[in-house]
Structure 1
Amino acid sequence: MDMAARVVAFIDIGTNSVRLLVVRIHPNHSYTVLTQLKQTVRLGEGEFNGHCLQPQAIDRVVFVCQQFATLARTSGAGEIITVATAATREAKNQRDFLDRLRQEANLDVRVVSGLEEARLIYLGVASGVHLGDKQALFVDIGGGSTEITIGTQHHYRYLNSLKFGAIRLTTEQLPAGDGSIATEHYERLQRYVHHNMVHVVRELHNYHIDMAIGSSGTIENLADVAARMYFKRDRHPDDVLSRAHLQQLLPVLCSLSLEERRKVPGLNPARADIIIAGAVILQTLMEALGVRSIRVTDRGLRDGLLVDYLVRQDHAPLIDEVSVRKRSVLQFGRACQFNEDHARLTAQLALSLFDSGQAAKLHRLGDWERELLEYAALLHHIGAFVNFSNYQAHTYYLIRNAELLGFDQTEIAMMATAALYHRKSLPRKKHAEFAALNKRSQQIVRRLSTLLRLAECLDRSQAGHVSHACFETLGDKRVRLNLHATQDCHIEVWSVEKHLEAFEKFEKVFERRFDIHVRYMAGEAIQAADLQESFLFTAPEPV
């Protein structure tokens, strides 16, 4: 372990669950997740009628926090950042509870306001999804409160915290007992939620909403049940929860007894008693705002604590990257100890080839494909972290299994496959990795892997001798590859020659011949050297 690295832990004491996150933060602003745990504790159970935390609930939380704190310290954590939310902030016996945590678990707990809770949840979720230029509605349904935010990738524009959550509503608005929920009780609950949400909905109508994102165990569980009920499978990472499915699901859940609900496929048995109240909150909000579907994420407040910590500790260079996607890629590359200078130069060369190739009409790809090329180039060499021999195969495996934030599964597969074919084997349909892509993705990967292969050749020595490369059109069938070199780049040109067969075989990529022109930059003197080798590139097909 790097002696300059440090381990930090984050604990979120919620109304329903306690969550732990332990990370090792490295000097290069990357971090490695060491542990993530969640334990249902029901701190808010029986509280909201008398506004006092119940002794049994306090005992459960103190015990779990003791275990989490011990695990964090055993992992080397020098700091444990702990916050508590709705159940604790509203409790009359809050001080007694916090004193026990300090004495028995050695934790100094910060109780956050509803708005601060909403801000931290926003930080945690927005840092893990790709919004681009869209503005999103963020919804988190906790046990005691519901946090709502409107925000873009980097800035929130609206924060609010509603004083009702899945446990609170179940306690206050639904009858006690293990039976089904009668229609009259369900409709009364709907009216109550709608009435208490009117002012917030009125405020939210002032904001444009491009998409909705839901966090919290309640929303995750509803999406799990919907996937099993309507798609007959487990939920996929790219699935959304539609309002139509939620509306169909609610009456089914209400018709079941508590014991029957616990057996519903996809439903966490420990959440069966509070899932209906949580579902009504989400359904009412989606209907009032005209939201047809909501994306689901497992990120939340504890992730926001980490982001907030990194910013406060001057780790902003990683946090302030252009997008969550690039930040995630750089974080992963640094965790794999990649040669960042080589990775960035390869990406720079690949993008220059992409842009000049686009101008020369060698391809018709756009911004989306360009972005995937950049990230594949940044990560193309990380497989050497495992073993240099056949490292491109290790790179493929690492990217496919990295759970990069902000990407869907198709994008991850395309980046991994483009990186796989940047050296040695060419894409063939008999290869399982290539065959797994759809036809359009295969066409794109052929082009991206060709450009990445060429860019990798142009920094073959990893010494940065070629500082710039671009295509120049010389006619209908010829294009020149112009290289700007700071030093002798014969190794790089030799590497291109070595891959001549690979470039020639791509008959469905660019149909052009090209020669190479090198400019050596030495102070103010410029020496040009033309290399006579010609290469066959293939014709652009509409993509």
Structure 2
Amino acid sequence: MKQNRLAAIDIGTNSIRSIIVETAGNGKYKILDDEKVLVRLGEGLHQTGLISPAAWQRAIEALSRQKKIIDGYRVTSIEAVATSAVRKAGNGRELMAAVREQTGLEIEVISGEEEAELAALSAQHNFELEGVRHLIFDIGGGSLELISALGAHTEEMLSLELGAVFLTESFLKSDPVQQAEHQKLRKHVRKSLKTAYTGERTGMQCLVGSGGTVTSIAAMVAAARGEKFDSLHGYELLRSELVHLLAMLVRKSDKERRAVPGLNPDRSDIIVAGVTAVDELMDFFQVNHLKVNERGIREGLILRGLRRRNLLPEKKQRSWRDSSLEFARSCHCDEGHAQQVAKLSRQIFLALAKRYGWGEKELRLLEAAAIMHDVGYFISYSSHHKHSYHLIRHADLFGFTPRERELMANIARYHRKSMPKKKHDEYTRLSAADQLLVSRLGGILRLCDGLDRRRNAVVQQLDCVLDKDLLRLTLGGAEDMSVELYGAKAKSDLLQESCRLKLELQSLPQQPAPPL
């Protein structure tokens, strides 16, 4: 199939970002290059109404370099847009003409509503929002875009002048920030939201946010939690964490904020205003839950470009299960075995769920880990359980948070060989509660892998009875079960130890095969 390479350039108020992707025409793509340059195009714009000569030059240099990188990748088409700063500046159009003359790039200056549409396109591509009333927002240096929606149905779309750079230059003059200044900033954001938003504010179930402020919030919260993830895409945090974070940032000087774990020093001077805007947004809609979309407008541009070129299939509802199966298939796993292990794991889970307080979230983790537990074969049979850990941890899986990916990777890692040990760094860096969850769900997966020892789904029936500290499993099927009984017994150690259960295994009398 012909490969297509696309590039997207987002010229924002604070930074200019470009991304280069390759697609095979099925709507999926892989990132080949991702470049970000802090340009501060909106520096001083609030006071003068113009892009300064220094910012002008920084933009030209950054775009010239990015265009050379794009040309080097032999990109077939470019989606390039300029947002708030260029839209607002009196000399914004002149800058875009200079960019075209010096780099050959054709830049589209888009409206705030178009920005919002791109942010929504990315969020709906990455999160399970079907039937959920939610708010998508993107906060840049100059503006804040909002989209309230129920599932795929947009209710209201707004673009407000509430970006982190604009708010900082308008309200925060002191270092550290004075309380009176901060209160004026809060009141302005609150009033702007009340004036502009006319829809129903109650019943909003979650916020999905993108932009540098949001990813910085996630990085600081993750650092405070002691968490380390390769990607913060899909990260989830609570309003209470945001409130504590903001209180800490307001007390510090700019120099002190530069040392805050997780915060890029280049963003230290505008972070208070950005976090305040997000905090007021969560308060305004009375939402306690924020999901982080690391991709945002740039990905929206890529998706728009694919759609324009008929390279994006008609949208269908995505699910975590489809994503897990798709990833397992890409690693050429034994799908029949994976599905059998997932089926048996579900049955044992349901027998234990009430005792351990498990629900749908834990079941989803176990089933997905079961589907993907053998993906490590893609690299090598030897230590394939360890390879599975790394592949799942780094996989781009729809519908899972970074924490959930880490948990699934660990659950799959313990389906064979060693049980969890203190010397296993991947396990010990989990919280105590997550360690116990991994051990128990990993114990179920490990046992069920043994129940399909011959990889032919011979166990057609599995009856699970929990009686005090005894779990009784009865196997049924048309063939002799001796191998499966042996396999399960050999791999029951982790479940028995972590759940403090004794296991009793037996099989029903062999049932005759149905007549042809």
**Partner residue of 1:445?**
442
Q: Which moved more, 1:105-114 or 1:24-33?
A: 24-33
Q: Which residue is 1:284 aligned to?
A: 280
Gap change, CA 1:238 and 1:449, over 3 Å in 2 = farther
CA drift of 1:333 comes to 4.4
Residue 419 to residue 96, structure 1, CA distance change in 2 (3 Å) = same
Q: Residues 271 and 438 (structure 1 numbering): CA distance in 2 closer, same or farther, change over 3 Å?
A: closer
The corresponding residue for 2:113 is 115
Question: Is this contact kept in 1: 2:345–2:370, CA < 8 A?
Answer: no
Which moved further from structure 2: 376-385 or 390-399?
Answer: 376-385
Aligned match for 2:382, one of 386, 389, 393: 389
- Which residue of structure 1 aligns with residue 83 of structure 2? 85
* SS state at 1:349 partner: helix
1: distance between equivalents of 2:95 and 2:458?
61
Classify the secondary structure of the residue corresponding to 2:70.
helix
Give the drift of 1:44: 1.9
Aligned residue in 2 for 1:538: none
TM-score by length of 2: 0.79
Q: Is the 2:242–2:279 Cα contact (8 Å) retained in structure 1?
A: yes
Task: Tell me which residue corresponds to 1:244.
Answer: 243
**Alignment of 1:219 onto 2:207:** no
| Cα distance, 1:444 vs structure 2 | 1.9
Q: Is the 1:122–1:156 contact (alpha carbons within 8 Å) kept by the matching residues of 2?
A: no
Query: Which runs of 5 or more residues in structure 2 are unaligned?
Result: none
Q: Does structure 1 retain, via aligned residues, the 8 Å contact 2:26–2:311?
A: no
Structure 1 residue 39 displacement after superposition:
1.1
What's the CA shift string for 1:469-508, capped at 9, x where partnerless? 443689x96734347xxxxx99xx8974773553566654
Cα RMSD, aligned residues only: 4.1
The counterpart of 2:490, out of the listed 471, 493, 502, is 502
Q: Over residues 97-137 of structure 1, what are the superposed CA-to-partner deviations in whole Å (9 max), with x where a residue is unaligned?
A: 33333332232222222122112213324444456864333
- Structure 2 CA distance for aligned equivalents of residues 192 and 168 of structure 1: 12
1:100-249 aligned at under 5 Å gives the runs 100-129=98-127, 134-151=132-149, 156-175=154-173, 179-205=175-201, 207-222=202-217, 224=219, 239-240=237-238, 242-246=241-245, 248-249=247-248
Give the C-alpha shift of residue 65 in structure 1.
1.7
Q: How many residues align?
A: 493
Equivalent of 2:264 in 263, 268, 276: 268
- Aligned-pair identity in percent equals 28
User: Is the radius of gyration larger for structure 1 or structure 2?
Assistant: 1
3-state secondary structure, aligned to 2:76:
strand
Question: What secondary structure is seen at the aligned counterpart in 2 of 1:42?
Answer: coil
> CA 1:264–1:25 in 2, change beyond 3 Å: closer, same or farther?
same
2:476 alignment partner, SS class = strand
Distance apart, 1:388 and its partner CA: 3.5
- The one-letter amino acid paired with 1:273 is D
Equivalent of residue 60 in structure 2, options 59, 62, 83: 62
The CA deviation string for residues 382-406 of structure 1, in whole angstroms up to 9 with x for no partner, is: 3233223332321122213436454
Matched, 1:511 2:504: yes
CA distance in 2 between counterparts of 1:179 and 1:362 reads: 55
Q: 1:166 to 1:441 in 2, by over 3 A?
A: same
Q: Secondary structure of the equivalent of 1:108? A: coil
Q: Is the 8 A contact 2:410 2:438 kept in 1?
A: no
Q: TM-score, normalised by structure 1?
A: 0.75
Distance 1:170 1:439, change over 3 A: closer
Taking the aligned partners of 1:187 and 1:355, their CA distance within structure 2 comes to 52
Query: Using the alignment, how far apart are the partners of 1:117 and 1:399 within structure 2?
Result: 33
Give the SS at the match of 2:108.
Answer: strand
Contact 2:443 2:492 in 1 (8 A): no
Unaligned runs of 5+ in 1: 460-465, 484-488, 528-543
Aligned counterparts of 1:500 and 1:441: Cα–Cα separation in 2: 19
